[in-house]
Amino acid sequence: MTIRVVLVDDHQLVLAGIAALLREIPEVEVVGEGNDGEAAIRLVAALAPDVLFLDLVMPGLSGIDALAQIKKTHAELKVIVLSMHSSEEHVLRALRLGAAGYMLKDVAPEELTHALHAVMTGETWLSSAISRTVIASYVGRTSSEVSPDALTSRQHQVLKLIAEGCSTKDIGMELGLSVKTIETYRSQIMQRLGIHEVAGLVRYAVRQGIVSL
């Protein structure tokens, strides 16, 4: 069976190198290449590949935002994220959005074959350097978290702006509210979510997809 692949990465040397390695795999056909998130969306729509290799961080529309859009219209597509980032926040963000695999760019070439075969058989594939223990711990934490639906619309707005790095004063100006009111909302959000520091709110917002990395 031929595996039709689209590859998207904004670094031309990386793109050319991975494309060359993929073409050495007998059952693989590289049907399209691109260098940003918009190209990924266009190529998937036009070519209907079996697998998309997608860089996580790109200028313009990022890989993570492209992934979110692509999975809404092509739920069956197997997406393997390409990244230099191995943190649990990056990995789980991609998996929550529907990625079938997460590949670090410094892996051995043979891992391309392993990744393709794994995702084509319905498995989730992670580079060996990504700790399964960390992932399991992260999943355990997120499964017990309070849903964002527990927040009011205004609290959700405030949480999003906090996670985007806005100061209390800036949030107040953005929403037309006083600093004291924003501080009250922040306290309410922390109490409702059981989170007691701003850094924890930021991590929560990333895990829940309220903001992108």
- Region 122-131 average pLDDT: 81
Domains (range + CATH), the chain: 3-141 (3.40.50.2300), 148-207 (1.10.10.10)
- Region 149-171 average pLDDT: 92
Amino acid 57: pLDDT: 87
Work out the number of other CB atoms within 10 angstroms of the CB of residue 128: 12
Residue 153 has pLDDT above 70, yes or no: yes
- Region 68-92 average pLDDT: 89
Please state the pTM of the whole predicted model. Answer: 0.65
The rounded mean pLDDT for the chain is 88
**Which residue in 169, 171, 170, 156 sits closest to 201, CA to CA?**
156
Residue 200 has pLDDT above 80, yes or no: yes
Chain segment 3-18, per-residue pLDDT in tens: 999 999 999 999 999 9
Give Rg (Cα) of the chain. Answer: 19
Chain segment 28-68, per-residue pLDDT in tens: 999 999 999 999 999 999 999 999 999 998 988 999 999 99
Its sign, for the CA torsion 161, 166, 167, 171, is negative
